[in-house]
Structure 1
Amino acid sequence: MPDEVVNPYDPVSETFNKSISVSGCLPAMGYSFAAGTTDGPGAFNFTQGTTTSNPLWNAVRDFIAAPTKEDIKCQAPKPILLATGRAKFPYEWQPNIVSCTVAKIGDLLLAAVPGEFTTMAGRRLRKVVSKIAGAKKVVLAGLSNIYSDYITTPEEYQAQRYEAASTIFGPHTLDIYLNKYAELTTALMKDTFLHPGPEPPDFQDQLITLVPPVLWDGNPWGKEFGDCVKQPQRQYSYGDIVAVSFIAGHPRNGLRHGRWYAIVEKLESEKYDSWVTYATDADWETKFIWRRDSKILGTSFADIEWEIPAGTPRGTYRIHHFGNYKYILGGIYSYHGFSEPFELT
């Protein structure tokens, strides 16, 4: 967060009292962050409310990324345990640029916040947005756009409990947010242009993954991908569960964005063999379960279930499975398969 001219919030009069120039800090996590909270305490000798540093942990910190004297002064009274704003490998450890949004839906103002506001910090933000917009209903929606840990009040920051130690931009974090959301709300209500500011970095071309790749997919002897090896019963009633299984490839061979791995089809015309989609794997009544049968042979199954809801039109149905398999010598190929038809009576 860069230097900003802000109107510090006066919690007593609940007004803006004066304008001063303050600065946000490079991100850093404090000692009390490692202490955890009452419902999830940390390890070692870290405790909440710590405002002094330890030479041993400072040495560990500096080995990862050492804060400058300016960083230490800016974050005071927080003792820096992790100088996350200085750590760049393999990517930035915490964001230096965050996105803030205000939306209006009728009389509702929605403040999309990129972090976890404490109760009092949230109240002050709602008060600012409500006063500018004249709105009776202001809702904070987090975590939105990006995650920048906690946001505490300046008073809470001085106490350096877990949330304050996790307020990464320093003691003036809330003041800067109040200023930004005041600007956004004013621009929204007056329908005026507001410069978007710098864009957050895009690391999509540099992403790494620890998920092991799909090496190959195998099919049992005499079977093809898409063959239905567990057929449905001939007849079902409301509340029954149709369960079938197909010879399958790994789902990660082809992520079917906007499409499906499984659908329930209804027979519209027996004469023309015309089928229409009745339900998909996005419906509550369906389940798509992929299971690996053998890591060595690469064989796997797609188990598909459909719990027939009351009111479903009676008629003839079938299950249709889609997927992709990876050939052992290279290449990814699509397949599909059907179950036998069954009757809903």
Structure 2
Amino acid sequence: MKIIIPMAGRGTRLRPHTLTVPKPLIPVAGKPIIQRLVEDLSSSYHGSIEEIAYVVGDFGIEVEKELIAIAERLGAKGKLYHQDKALGVGHAIACASDSLNGKCIVAFADTLIKADFKFNDLEDGVIWTQKVEDPSSFGVIKLDMEGYIIDMVEKPATFVSDLAIVGIYYFREGEKLRDALHHIITNNIREKNEYQLTTALAHLKNQGARFRTGQIEEWLDCGTKENILHSNARMLEIHQEQKLIAATALVENSVIIPPCFIGENAVIRNSVIGPHVSVGHHSKVESTIISNSIVQNHAHLKNAVLESSLIGNASRYEGSRYALDLGDFSNFSKR
């Protein structure tokens, strides 16, 4: 099995964090989003993962080395492809055409899942979905009586289905997907001026391919700051039975309200941390109260009261302490 991950987008909704770090490398519960994604896929699949192919933008050599290392730690070969122009997800996947052969999983880089990821790999393809309350913001599918997909509709204005596509796909013959993508690009078949994966899927369906649907327990989107913080909280809850506080972390005169992740060589002093806080490697938190937040690596917080915050790598924030004289019947609010 090969895993193809299109991740060349710049993550503009997460700026300023994505000005220096690609969105898939932002940590969630102590691990980069992309690492959690491939670990979950590889651990849930009953077979072996031979290759993980990333479609990237101009992220720099250090990011590319980290991506290759993530693949190699799972016993797979890492491969890089570059998308020079933002021409849609279908175009991004087509950039990895050399890897589109045999059994393939295509997974979007801003998606985390909680699922028993079992499926029949003899099917032509599988598209994973989850029921949602408001399907108008998602691509959705319709099924026939046998459970095969008969239609895919992007962000329907009227109700079509409540089964939303979560961004994970399986193809038994990756070369057929490669040919379908080549067809839509060669014939300049675009939607909203981009080459879409759903267009290629419709082309495959018209050629006789039959797609099943796979169900997941929980879908965690990581496209915005609020979603990343929610995903961090859920991942901490899901993995709270694991050892989340590094042995090299120093915690002095502090309260840790679980679940929290404390990274290697982090220092927590005179603080209250949690719940749902991840503190990155080599970061220092002093005289601070913080909840529902992510502090990335080599950051330093002092005299802060924070919630629902995302603190970047090597950032420093120092708040102020106040002496307050407040008389009877006073009303004071500081925001």
TM-score by shorter chain over 0.5: no
- Compare CA radii of gyration and give the structure with the larger one: 1
Please tell me the TM-score bracket, short chain as reference. Answer: under 0.3
The TM-score with structure 2 as length reference comes to 0.24
More helix by share: 2
